Amino acid sequence: MKFTWFHLMPWPHLPDDFREKYRSVWVDIPTTLYDAKRGHHVYHDYFDQLEYAETMGFDALGVNEHHANAYGLMPSPNLMAAALARRTSKAAIMVLGDSIALYNPPIRVAEEFAMLDVMTGGRLACGFPVGTSMDTNYAYGTIPALTREKYNEAHELIMRAWREDEPFAFNGRYTKLRYVNCWPKPIQRPRPPIFIPGGGSIETYDFCLEFDYTYCYLSYSGYMRAKQLMEGYWERVAKAGKDESPYRGGFAQVICVADTDAEAEKLYSKHVHYFYNRCLHVYPGFADAPGYRTVKTLQANMITQLTQAQLRNYPTLTWKDLVDQGYVIAGSPKTVYDRMVDLAKTLRVGNIFGLFQVGDMPSDKVRHSTKLFAEQVMPKLKAELFQEWKNEDRFWIKPMQQNERRQVAAE
Amino acid sequence: MTITSRLIDVAGGRNKVRVYEGGDGPPLFYLHGAGGLMREDRVIAALARHYRVYAPLLPGYEDSVGEERLRDMLDVTLHGYDVMQALGLSKPLVVGHSMGGMIAAEMAAIAPNEIERLALIAPAGIWLPEHPIVDIFALLPQEFPGYLFHDVEAGAKLMTPGGDMNDVKFLAEFMIANARRLGTAGKMLFPIPERGLSERLYRIKARTLVVWGENDRLIPPVYAHEFIKGISGARLTTIPQAGHLVGHEKPDALVEALRTLN
Q: CA–CA separation, B70 vs B76, rounded Å? A: 6
Average pLDDT, chain A: 95
How many residue contacts between A and B have a Cβ separation below 8 Å? 74
Task: State the amino acid at position A191 in one-letter form.
Answer: R
Q: How far apart are the first and last CA of chain A?
A: 27
User: Nearest CA to CA, how far is B198 from chain A (Å)?
Assistant: 21
**Between chains, do B137 and A141 touch, taking CB under 8 Å as contact?**
no
**Between chains, do A291 and B184 touch, taking CB under 8 Å as contact?**
yes
A138, A146, A303 member nearest B138 (Cβ)? A138
Segment B149-201, tens digit of pLDDT? 999 999 988 887 767 777 888 888 888 888 999 999 999 999 999 999 999 99
Segment A183-239, tens digit of pLDDT? 999 999 999 999 999 888 888 999 999 999 999 999 898 888 899 899 999 999 999
Helix (H) or strand (E) holding A254: strand A249-257
Contacts of B169 in chain A (CB under 8 A): 303
Is the pLDDT reported for residue A42 higher than 70? yes
pTM (two decimals) = 0.95
Give the residue from chain A lying closest to B67, CA to CA. Answer: A145
Segment B33-57, tens digit of pLDDT? 999 999 889 999 999 999 999 999 9
At B200, give phi and psi (nearest 5°). Answer: -110, -10
Residue A54 vs residue B177, higher pLDDT: A54
CB A245 within 8 A of CB A394: yes
CB B212 within 8 A of CB B111: no
Strand-pair category, B52-56 with B15-22: antiparallel
Q: CA–CA separation, B104 vs B85, rounded Å? A: 15
What are the distances in angstroms from CA B1 to CA B21, B46, B49?
10, 9, 7
Test mutation, A24, A132, A302, A304, chain B, max B CBs within 10 A: A302
Segment A245-256, tens digit of pLDDT? 999 999 999 999
Using DSSP's 3-state secondary structure scheme, residue A350 falls into coil
Is the pLDDT reported for residue A311 higher than 60? no
DSSP state of B136: G
Is the pLDDT reported for residue A411 higher than 70? no
> Is the C-alpha dihedral spanning B196, B199, B204, B208 positive or negative?
positive
pLDDT of A307 reads 66
- Give the Cα-Cα-Cα angle A147, A152, A155 (nearest 5 degrees): 125
CA B180 to chain centre: 16
- Give the Cα-Cα-Cα angle A102, A105, A110 (nearest 5 degrees): 90
At A196, give phi and psi (nearest 5°). Answer: -115, 110
**Between chains, do A141 and B191 touch, taking CB under 8 Å as contact?**
yes
Is the pLDDT reported for residue B81 higher than 90? yes
Contacts of B191 in chain A (CB under 8 A): 137-138, 141, 143
